[in-house]
Amino acid sequence: MNFKKKFVTGIAAASIFFTATVPFNVLAEKPPLFQYNGEEELRVSQIAQYDSGLGEGGTEIMAYDESTRTAFVTNGTAKGFDIISINNLDSGEFKEIPSSKRVLLSSFGIEGIDDITSIAVNPVMDVVAITAVSDPKTDPGYVVFTNKNGEYITHVQVGALPDMVTFTPDGTKAIVANEGEPSDDYSVDPEGSISIINVGLSVNTLTFTEDQLDEKVRAGSKGTILQQLEPEYVTVSDDSTTAYVTLQENNAIATVDLINEEIIDVKGLGAKDHSAPGNELDAIDNEEADIKKQPLLGFYLPDAIDTFEYNGKTYILTPNEGDSRDYEAYSEEGSVEDIADQIKLNADHYQGYTQSELDEAVENGLLEDLAGTDITLEQGKNADGVYEALYSFGGRSFSIFDADTMELVYDSGSEFEEIILEAMPQHFNTNNDELKFDGRSDGKGPEPETVISGEIDGTTYAFVALERFSGIMIYDLSIPAAPEFVSLISSRDFSEDVKGDVSPEGLQFIPAEVSPTGNPLLAATHEISGTIAVYEINGKMPAAETKTFDDIQGHWAQQSIESLATKGIVSGYSADKFAPEKSISRAEIAGLIDRALQLDTSTENSGEFKDVEGSAWYKESVKDVAGADILVGYGDNTFRPEEEMTREEIIAVMIRAYEYAKGTDIEADAEEMLADFVDADEISEWAKQEVAEAIAAHLVYGVTENEIQPGKDVTRAEAAAMIQRLLQ
């Protein structure tokens, strides 16, 4: 795959004050937006953030009312929901969104509520539905109905642990997935079910029968098969006649006839062979990024679900998160080391291995390498109790299924991990509450949590939220059997464990025709940070004509110069001359970095320099790079813009720019990194650590194999090559 990367950064701090039913403060600052693009590029910017003020659990699921341009957001921490207006959002302008009202379910006199799990807005009536879990969760739960002002209407009883509610597009029915989890001690284990609530508030709760299940529906050894069925998430066809419901722990999807109000069937999704080409993964937490084939079969186990139409046919989208049945009295979870003496892998289960290859891999320590990798202890055993195959949780991908047959049409394979490794390698398989490189590799990797589709300028896109990494993958669905990666975006601030927008839990696509800005919006609720990020999508970027110069033809830096010139980051001395061998000044470097990183960081650190005139072309760039502590002035309050830069100076500037853009520090042992360079002693003491870090980050190389030449003036060509590596 060929990807290109674009950073969008900049932090603007502000605060707002408002009143709500329950007062609380919102003190948000604009997170830095990271964007990494494929061959196609969408213009994406974050134009708003809502902060619940409660941190984890403050925002989980959002529903949008098109008629009033109002959002309704579950607040599990407060056991209620927030009502927020986004009607005043402006295109391209970042705003902090205040809460209009916080509604607590306790104010309705409903007793014994343990949690709020989902919310939905009726598309044609003044009705909002909220799912409420009882205490204990094994008791029947409730759907609470209010109007759009948050005023109580009524509530109805549904099945145990209602996990998701949605309305049919025609507004006549609410569909509820009742997960029916057991108690932790397994003394009570209710059956999962699906409730249909009609406009007259009559409730029909559908239960499952074994004859509805196909042979691929996943089940374990604890409880009956019907007790183990756990409906999770619902989507409804455009014509309001059919619902599709994920049963996550069962690795299955149920199809429900909404006209006759009956479950048609439940079909299992099978497993993903991680030994097959294109399905590789990093399954080992060893502080290395190593995506390769492994003898693992990953159950897809999707959480959310959505549908889209193509040529009159319905397709299902699934984010293959993975989940398990894990309770105090019973857990299916284990690791390879737990059953190492019971494993004898059989190549019949794997496309990518012969038996001799498997045996040799085991002999060479394969099982020891996979010792900590999470697997289920329920599947993979033969009649003698020997594990012939290892089954893991989740597909680390998104999939497309034929809604009629539930046959797999497409799976993104190993792309999520590959893209993250290219885009932000130091945060590969990190966690949502702790920045730890490779920390989730032995679990479920980036963990795709939810998915939604939306149409932009006639093209249908899939948006897939990655819960652990805290990003959103965007794919073009023009060809359902061959979607194309478009962008990875994230407004997580990676400078701290939890900062910015962290752990997307829900997505809401707002089409252009009902958007307050006139452009499509994507709202992402982030569970760990308790925030909502609102992204504006301004359509596709037009393909740019490659810009070149006469004096760089055949030059070693031609590709870098052309790439940066096409993006408007570098310019020539004339229309056809670049002057690649000319030395570069501090002012020119300031301009290059400012344009490359799209800085907007003028702060108290970037005051006026007495030698930077107000009319100077580089004035704003100097302010920006100084404000970011990338290229600062001298003690006499000068910047010396015309002064030429040496290699050690520009290398130090590049690593600062890299660390600023990435939001993290590079660690390097200066003595070790510089040991192979014969002129290491010529590097100034102040610069040695930063030069070592830049080498470790592959930002710079020696002029020769073993020479840094730290005192050599830097040419415009060398600077362009460094900027290109910075962006890569």
Using alpha carbons, select from 45, 53, 58, 47 the residue that is nearest to residue 16. 53
* Cβ-contact 14, 604 below 8 angstroms: no
Choice among 114-118, 267-271, 582-586, 597-601 with the minimum mean pLDDT: 597-601
pLDDT in tens, 681-695: 999 999 899 988 888
Residues in Cβ contact with 513 at an 8 Å cutoff, skipping those fewer than 6 apart: none
- Tell whether the model's pLDDT for residue 13 goes beyond 70: no
- Tell whether the model's pLDDT for residue 39 goes beyond 90: no
pLDDT (0 to 100) of residue 495: 87
Choice among 378-387, 462-471, 515-524, 656-665 with the minimum mean pLDDT: 656-665
Distances (CA, A) of 70 to 63, 100, 111, 149: 9, 10, 28, 10
Per-residue burial over 332-343, b = 16 or more CB atoms within 10 Å of its CB, e = otherwise: beeebeebeeeb
> What is the end-to-end Cα distance of the chain in Å, rounded?
14
Q: Give, for 198, the enclosing helix (H) or strand (E).
A: strand 193-198
pLDDT (0 to 100) of residue 520: 98
Across residues 23-43, what is the average pLDDT? 73
- Centre a 10 Å sphere on the Cβ of residue 174 and count the other Cβ atoms it contains: 26
Tell me the residue ranges of DSSP E strands in 480-631.
484-490, 504-510, 521-526, 531-540
**Pair of tokens at residue 278:** 């294109």
- 198, β-bridge pairs: 173
The CA-based dihedral angle spanning residues 402, 404, 405, 409, taken in that order and rounded to the nearest 10 degrees: -10
pLDDT (0 to 100) of residue 5: 35
Matching residue, tokens 């073009």: 476
pLDDT in tens, 568-623: 888 888 888 999 999 999 999 998 998 888 887 554 445 679 999 887 888 888 98
Dihedrals φ, ψ of 370, to 5°? -90, 10
pLDDT (0 to 100) of residue 2: 39
Please report, rounded to a whole number, the percentage of residues in the chain having pLDDT higher than 70. Answer: 94
Matching residue, tokens 């805290």: 470
pLDDT (0 to 100) of residue 544: 58
Starting at the earlier edge strand, list the strands of the sheet with 313-319: 306-310, 313-319, 398-402, 408-411
**DSSP conformational letter for 669:** -
Using alpha carbons, select from 92, 72, 63, 49 the residue that is nearest to residue 492. 49
- Centre a 10 Å sphere on the Cβ of residue 479 and count the other Cβ atoms it contains: 10
pLDDT in tens, 523-549: 999 999 999 999 999 977 665 578 899
Distances (CA, A) of 299 to 267, 319, 323, 473: 13, 12, 9, 21
Starting at the earlier edge strand, list the strands of the sheet with 162-167: 162-167, 173-178, 193-198, 203-207
Q: What angle do CA 392, 396, 397 make, to 5 degrees?
A: 135
Starting at the earlier edge strand, list the strands of the sheet with 471-476: 4-8, 33-37, 484-490, 471-476, 459-466, 448-456
pLDDT in tens, 407-433: 999 999 999 999 999 888 889 999 999
**Pair of tokens at residue 728:** 């890569």
Distances (CA, A) of 110 to 59, 65, 275, 440, 576: 22, 25, 52, 40, 75
pLDDT (0 to 100) of residue 16: 21
**Pair of tokens at residue 247:** 């049963």
Question: Which stretches of 169-264 are DSSP H helices?
Answer: 225-228
Share in percent of the chain as helix, strand, coil (round to 5): 20, 30, 50
pLDDT in tens, 429-455: 999 999 999 999 999 999 999 999 999
Give one word for 720, left, alpha or beta, with left for phi > 0 and alpha for psi -120 to 50: alpha
**Residue scoring higher pLDDT (704 or 362):** 362
- Tell whether the model's pLDDT for residue 728 goes beyond 90: no
Q: Give, for 725, the enclosing helix (H) or strand (E).
A: helix 716-727
pTM, full prediction? 0.77
Residues in Cβ contact with 88 at an 8 Å cutoff, skipping those fewer than 6 apart: 95, 516
- Tell whether the model's pLDDT for residue 27 goes beyond 50: no
- Tell whether the model's pLDDT for residue 472 goes beyond 50: yes
Q: Name the pLDDT band for 664 (thresholds 50, 70, 90).
A: confident
- Tell whether the model's pLDDT for residue 714 goes beyond 60: yes
Q: Give, for 410, the enclosing helix (H) or strand (E).
A: strand 408-411
How far apart CA 198 and CA 120 sit, in angstroms, is 15
> How many DSSP H helices and E strands does the chain contain?
11, 36
- Tell whether the model's pLDDT for residue 26 goes beyond 50: no
Across residues 182-211, what is the average pLDDT? 97
- Tell whether the model's pLDDT for residue 501 goes beyond 60: yes
- Centre a 10 Å sphere on the Cβ of residue 50 and count the other Cβ atoms it contains: 28
Matching residue, tokens 């794919």: 475
pLDDT (0 to 100) of residue 19: 25
- Tell whether the model's pLDDT for residue 332 goes beyond 60: yes
pLDDT (0 to 100) of residue 135: 96
Sign of CA pseudo-dihedral 189, 190, 193, 197: negative
- Determine if the peptide bond prior to 31 is cis (ω within 30°): no
pLDDT (0 to 100) of residue 541: 64
* Cβ-contact 176, 165 below 8 angstroms: yes
Starting at the earlier edge strand, list the strands of the sheet with 296-299: 271-273, 296-299, 390-393
* Cβ-contact 475, 484 below 8 angstroms: yes
- Centre a 10 Å sphere on the Cβ of residue 536 and count the other Cβ atoms it contains: 25
Distances (CA, A) of 119 to 55, 76, 193, 197, 414: 19, 11, 18, 14, 33
Q: What domains can you pick out in the chain, each with its CATH number?
A: 4-540 (2.130.10.10), 550-727 (no CATH)
